[in-house]
Amino acid sequence: MITVTTNAKERMKEVLKKTSNPEAAIRIVTSSSEPKRLQLVFDKEREGDQVVATEEGKKLLLIGTDLAPVLDEMVIDSQETPEGEFLTISKPESRT
């Protein structure tokens, strides 16, 4: 299962406040122009999705069945850069 940090959840909440659709969440999809890259889009929950929600039950992040195995054990975090705040996806270092 993917891990979403508290900072990333807060950033997602901020982004979702900008949409007029109260049912919308952020979906991770494969980029149509660059198949090896991922992108984020607004979407509604679909059957089989993995859903990351807030403590209040608001859906924040949707992961389809096609990407769930690829993103398993990944971590989504929010990172501050000179260009702004971005969500990052990374694989945690294994601990032996």
Question: In which band, very low, low, confident or very high, does the pLDDT at 93 lie, cut at 50, 70 and 90?
Answer: confident
pLDDT over 70 percentage in the chain? 97
Average pLDDT over residues 31-57: 90
Whether the per-residue pLDDT at 65 is higher than 90: the answer is yes
Half-sphere exposure of 72 (CA within 13 A, CB side): 5
Whether the per-residue pLDDT at 95 is higher than 60: the answer is no
Would you state the structure tokens that stand for residue 30, as one six-digit string? Answer: 């494969």
Indicate the average pLDDT of the chain.
90
Whether the per-residue pLDDT at 91 is higher than 90: the answer is no
CATH topology classification for 3-90: Hypothetical Protein Aq_1857; Chain: A; (2.60.300)
The pLDDT value recorded for residue 23 is: 87
